[in-house]
Chain A
Amino acid sequence: MLSFWRRNRGFIVFSLILVVLIGLASHKASQQQAPPSPLEELILRGLAPFSRASSLVVQRINTFLNDVKGLLSLRARNYELEAELAALRLRMNLLVEAERENQRLRQLLKYQEANPALDLKLAKIISIGQNPWQQDVIIDQGSQHGVKVNTAVITHQGFVGRVYEVHPTTAKVVLVIDARGPIAAQVQETRVRGTLEADPNNPGMLRMIRLAREAAIRPGDAIVTAGTGALNLPKGILVGYVEAVTPTPDGLQLEASVRPAVNFDSLEDVLLVLSSEEH
């Protein structure tokens, strides 16, 4: 008997513990609603801090492992997202550009509808020459599209300039703020006439000269094309607004500083006045 115990001690202890545990489990399973015994309570209380600490450590380790795992895929994901973001940005820019172009064209269309007497044609600016001595642009319409020398170029804001050189598919436009761009102009309200030319002292500004000393012209007055002179430009197109009126150095005439109505820095689409019934 003793020799049997000695030989199978390990197995016997293991089996007993297993039976006790099964018994305990089945007892607990049958009494789920029963309160825990004082012993259980005591053990649980004693173990709780350790369990909490252990759980915290395990949690941290789990988080760390997950982070490491995540980091491995994060770079690839980040790359994907960056590419996606770049594509979306590009798309958004294209949409914004399209929206702006739409707005510009709508404004030009509105101008065309409001001025049925003018035979207008849309043109795009494809090249810009801007420096102190030169203010001109090239448009994508030429003689094949009915453009001629001295065709007036405008936007919904006002007068831009006139065509001075025509090619089959393109044309060069001299802006009104260029040295070669003087035009006959008049004050819209009082019909006082003068010559409008680039101001040699103020880049981007115009000056109206040859005004009589008693001419009725004041700051804020709108200046429009006079429709006279050799250039044969249409009459009544807004060119700019008077900023200041001063006498000439000899005191015999007046001179007006005029701010152009058109913003030449953001010029992209223009209208060509192919013919005008008013003129």
Chain B
Amino acid sequence: MLRRHLFFCLLLLLLLVLQTTLVPRMGNFWGQIDLILVLTVAYALLAGPSRGAVFGMTAGFLRAIASGPTLGLYAVVLYVIGYSVGQFSQLMYRKSMLVPWVVGLVSTACYWLLMTVMVGGLYGFWIGTGYWLGLPVSVLLNSVLVALMYALLYKHQQQEVARGRG
């Protein structure tokens, strides 16, 4: 169990570093990738609402510490996303890649909506059409990554179970 938690912590830290160093240098198109969101959604799909929420909150805090507008802003949004996505964990057929993809689509759109509302409410900065043009690309890229990430984590989980550590 401890090993599994350590694995997710290290994965989160790795993606956090990539998100703040590599992704912003990848240009406008690939720069829409949000690895922390992807990991939160994939984890929540596997672990359920409670763990998903806790993971989202932790990831949000870490992200805000690494680079963020306000400590807690990402934590709130990712907490909600983690909890909501976790609700689907019991409804889905685990080997399917379609459900994670659809959940990735919806959760990325919700993430945009929640972030817009939070930043708009906190700073009075309501993003306009120019910013929203990035939404389709973001939704597409992140949903594909959610499906891939879910498949990898699911495989990892199965291997852990087979080894008797699950």
Contact = CB atoms under 8 A, between A and B. Distances in A.
Contacts of B34: 131
A132 B132 CA distance: 8
Interface string B29-46: 001001000000000000
Contacts of A255: none
Given A131-B34, A132-B134, A179-B123, A201 B67 contact: no
Contacts of B68: 129, 134, 136
A133 B115 contact: yes
Contact of B67 (A132, A134, A205, A265): A134
B128 to A, nearest CB: 3
B21 A128 contact: yes
Nearest to A197: B125
A202 B21 contact: no
Interface in B47-105: 66-69
Nearest to B19: A129
Interface in A134-191: 134, 136-138, 172, 178-180
A201 B123 contact: no
Contacts of A127: 20-21, 66-67
Interface residues of B, number: 26
Nearest to B32: A131
Interface in B111-132: 112, 115-116, 118-119, 123-131
Q: How large is the interface on A (under 10, 10 to 19, 20 to 34, 35 or more residues)?
A: 20 to 34
A203 B131 CA distance: 6
B122 to A, nearest CB: 9
Contacts of B31: 130
Contact of B119 (A126, A179, A265): A179
Contact of A132 (B25, B27, B66, B131): B131
B24 interface: yes
B119 A133 contact: yes
Contact of B130 (A128, A134, A202): A202
Nearest to B74: A134
A198 interface: yes
B125 A179 contact: yes
Contacts of B112: 132
A15 B35 CA distance: 95
Contacts of A130: 24, 31
Interface in A95-133: 126-133
Given A129-B68, A200-B128, 14 more contacts: A127-B66, A127-B67, A129-B20, A131-B115, A132-B127, A132-B134, A133-B69, A133-B115, A134-B67, A138-B66, A180-B69, A202-B128, A203-B131, A203-B134
11 contacts: A126-B21, A129-B66, A129-B67, A129-B68, A133-B118, A133-B127, A138-B66, A179-B124, A201-B130, A201-B131, A203-B131
